[in-house]
Amino acid sequence: MALKLWGRPTSARTQKAILALAELGMDYELILASGTMGTGGHVSKGHAPYGVVDTDAYRAMNPNGTVPTIDDDGFVLWESNAIVAYLGMAYDPALFYGNDTRTFASASRWMAWENNQLIPPMHELVMQLVRLPEAERDAAITDAANQKLIGEFKIVEAQLGRTDYIAGDRWTMGDIPLAINLHRWHLFDMPGPEMPNLARYYAQVKARPAFEAIADPAMHLSG
């Protein structure tokens, strides 16, 4: 039975699962689910959401009512970074972390960092730039979120001066969340300082065949 993934293609966290599955070359069934977005766009603009997340059956799997959630042959899991780590450990530990405990720990550290440091300002940006109705947008909030993001990307820039990828000199699962956030930020075309290591890294992660699964600008700019 193919793995089931509940989520929406415009969700950066759902995209982590999509990119991980593409890296693994796995087939899966995507079930559209969301309380905030649907085919037309965001609920703040009056569009109907995909739904599903408020049903009893979904809440029994994921009491948060958020996406993504997976069901892999009866094993249900939510939390996007846990999903990425699970898929790697279950299906290709060599690819995802060199089958090495310290590489796993280092990649996990950058995934937790992404959840804590990158996602909050990135969420602010996506709301201000694409999801909210124009009348509800605030240039000062956009600018503050971009400045916060630049500060975080400078930490990545310094790390990438020491290593080719975020958790060492080889690609790991730690590059999955970072690549998605970086791609989204480039598509937003926000002002920022020159960060040559980050630019080099963005070209590297974009060149991976699996990147195609999350490359479509519509997955990042639709609101």
Ligand X SMILES: N[C@@H](CCC(=O)N[C@@H](CS)C(=O)NCC(=O)O)C(=O)O
- Would you tell me which residues interact with ligand X (CB under 6 A)? 8, 11-13, 34-37, 53, 66-67, 79-80, 115
Specify the residue, 126 or 160, whose C-beta has the smaller distance to ligand X.
Answer: 126
* Beta carbons of 26 and 32 less than 8 angstroms apart: no
Other C-beta atoms closer than 10 Å to the C-beta of 38 total 16
Is there a contact between 120 and 181 (Cβ–Cβ < 8 Å)? no
Element (H, E) at 5: strand 3-7
- The letter for the amino acid at 164 is D
Which one, 160 or 219, has the nearer CB to ligand X?
219
Query: What phi and psi, each to the nearest 5 degrees, are found at residue 205?
Result: -70, -30
Distance from C-alpha of 153 to C-alpha of 35, rounded to nearest angstrom? 30
Closest to ligand X by CB, 127 or 210: 127
Determine the residue with CB nearest ligand X.
66
Nearest distance from C-beta of residue 7 to ligand X, angstroms: 7
**CB of 37 or CB of 107, closer to ligand X:** 37
The residue among 80 and 195 lying less far from ligand X, judged by its C-beta, is 80
User: What do you get for the CA distance between the two ends of the chain, in Å?
Assistant: 33
